[in-house]
Structure 1
Amino acid sequence: MARWRLSRRKLLFLSVSFTSLLLFLHLPSSPHHFAFSPTSSLCNSRLHRISWTHSPSPTWSWDKSQNCDFQRFSSGHASELLRGAWILAAGDSQARLLLLALLRLLLDPAQVSNVEPDLFRRHSDYQLTLPDRGIKIDFVWAPYESNITHLLRDIQLTPRYPDLLILGSGLWHMLHITSPSHYGAALAQIKRAAESLFEQSISLHPHMFWLGLPKLVNSMLNTEEKKVKMTGTMLEAYDREVDMRGILNGSSGPFMLLDIGRLTRGCGKHCTLDGMHYHDAVYDAAVNIMLNSMLIESQ
């Protein structure tokens, strides 16, 4: 499989297929204003400004007043953007749900129904290839931060690195270890491993995203242990560790945040049945935020 670069894909769009892309993305006619206005960095900071409606089921849209031409990706556009890419997601059930949302975008409904049981096989890894698009997709069950650190170090020993990394953890740590400071120290290890991977990838830097923790609706959690340990106060402490440890690009870290917490707060408690896992629309929004961020980053 050829090494994938988003910048190469963008250049292809802006040359041979620029006219069709304008129709597809509703872009302005000048390539100097490619999709985002007034500035890419400003628009990147506005990606999570989502509005929600709940009738008859949760749906989302971007706030049109923010003057950024964000795109709601179609299957064809997502497939073209990711053509030739190796996508690696690692983490717990939140990472599975995010990857499922990406598969819903890339595959038809019958294909999604076929792959979903394997993707959600308890505590297992998953792999899928889409030969017609050259896309390779891996999910690695990595519920603890040490699992992710070991994965990043193992990747450095391979001849090829993923083009898109989607990582996240914290729920298992909160339930089974219940120590924000310990969680923060583990995040620092992830940061060092990710920075090392980024440095060794020379000019072909992978796109790295970190999944934020969802809002926990304590009264809806399905065990007493979860209700005792996974409180709002504890969630805030874990979120503070993410901010303090500098893993996010806003603090010079390697990861762009996919703010699942903000999205789940926006969707509300009627979007969850167990206080932890949310409606498909939440993860669909996160996938579109991720893909738009990749376009912004490519400029």
Structure 2
Amino acid sequence: MIGAVQLGVLAACVVVLVPMGMAGYHLSRNKMLFFSGALFITLAIGVHLTPYFPSVTDFVTTVSSVVVFQNRRDSCLSHLHDLVWDVSPSPDSPLDFHKSWAWDDASSVSACGFQKLGRFDAADLLNGSWVVVAGDSQARLIAVSLLALVLDSDRMDQVRGDLFKRHSDYQIVVDEIGMRLDFFWAPYALNLTTLVAGFNRNRNYPDVLVMGSGLWHMLHFTNASDYGASLQSLRAHAASLVSSSEQHEEAVTGSVLARPSPHLFWIGMPTLINSMLNSDEKREKMTDVLRAAYDDQLRSSNLVRKSNGPFLLLDVESLSWNCGVRCTVDGMHYDMIVYEAALHIMLNALLIESHQKL
């Protein structure tokens, strides 16, 4: 908040610098002194009267608050992936490993107040929301992690079998919190583009949209440039989805209510451990070189926010890399703790973007 002291300093600077500038135009000393005195008196009166004009005070306070919040928001979003992992042999069995993660305790990260949300906090955050998760097996694991957080163990056991059916969609409504989750099997970016185009066409937008693809394209097409082109098309439709939802208005009891934009998240591809991949075809095609080429295409597509895109990246590559080789059995799909970490990163991002307290 800008106070009287700061305004006084600003006034002093104006009083000193403006007459000096005017002196450069060879005004007489008397004229310059008169102008300086008049300017000083005007600014002094303005500084002292400002608190008595609420609109001015409120404007200054609002602008200051917005700037501070925006800076803090951007800073905290940049620290969401600053995690510390502990993967160590279990005391009970050296062949088993204890796996855990936490946010870094550096002051810049601690100041953001990130937290692992419990079931009730997550339920409160997602209350009444429509969540859409779409993509390949990585996206399915994110959906599993989300449902495991908001459902009790008995209910989760009932839905786990249906959710893990290969290459199928899944829908569920969690009645207790009014949350609807739709999972769409969409292994290619083209499938995701079709899905987003449908939201735009029907003018029906989810509150949270979580998407990811790339592994199937890498295996079955092995063409990084084609993958990049499909991501650019998806970006155009996703940007349209955001702008369309901002412009879309619904009539509510005679008034007009604008629907907020969806929160968009992109699931990055995991670290691939080539020697552990479970088929000769995968080991031959899904190489480190090709993986790097697909990463380059993601960056150049401007799909994620780091490159001014609409999606906030859930960086499963860094999460899986830091969890390490002990966290995967096939070099592609990782233990649930990796997707749990990605989920809590997403939930904390939602807290930040919905202006809720961390």
Higher helix share: 2
Rounded Cα–Cα distance in structure 2 between residues aligned with 1:159 and 1:213: 30
The partner residue of 1:219 within 275, 290, 297 is 275
Rounded Cα–Cα distance in structure 2 between residues aligned with 1:156 and 1:230: 34
Once the two structures are superposed, the pairs formed by residues 16-55 of structure 1 within 5 Å of their partners are: 39-55=72-88
Q: Which amino acid aligns with 1:128?
A: I
The number of equivalent residue pairs is 266
TM-score by length of 1: 0.86
Q: Which amino acid aligns with 1:284?
A: E
Shift of 1:109: 1.4
Preserved CA contact (<8 Å) 1:58 1:279: no
In percent, how many aligned pairs have the same letter?
46
SS of structure 1 residue aligned to 2:161: helix
Match of 2:312 in 1: 256
Q: Which amino acid aligns with 2:348?
A: N
Unaligned stretches of 5+ in structure 1? 1-31
Q: Quick check: which has more Rg, 1 or 2?
A: 2
Larger CA deviation: 153-162 vs 285-294: 153-162
Q: Which amino acid aligns with 2:105?
A: K
Rounded Cα–Cα distance in structure 1 between residues aligned with 2:175 and 2:157: 19
Rounded Cα–Cα distance in structure 1 between residues aligned with 2:118 and 2:195: 31
Shift of 1:157: 2.3
Preserved CA contact (<8 Å) 2:215 2:269: yes
Preserved CA contact (<8 Å) 2:203 2:245: no
Once the two structures are superposed, the pairs formed by residues 1-299 of structure 1 within 5 Å of their partners are: 39-55=72-88, 56=90, 57-65=98-106, 66-67=109-110, 68-202=112-246, 203-299=259-355
SS of structure 1 residue aligned to 2:154: helix
Unaligned stretches of 5+ in structure 2? 1-64, 91-97, 247-258
Match of 1:5 in 2: none
Shift of 1:298: 2.1
Rounded Cα–Cα distance in structure 1 between residues aligned with 2:71 and 2:337: 28
Rounded Cα–Cα distance in structure 2 between residues aligned with 1:108 and 1:275: 30
Q: Which amino acid aligns with 2:87?
A: H
SS of structure 1 residue aligned to 2:202: coil
Q: Which amino acid aligns with 2:75?
A: L
Shift of 1:160: 2.5
Shift of 1:38: 7.8
Larger CA deviation: 49-58 vs 240-249: 49-58
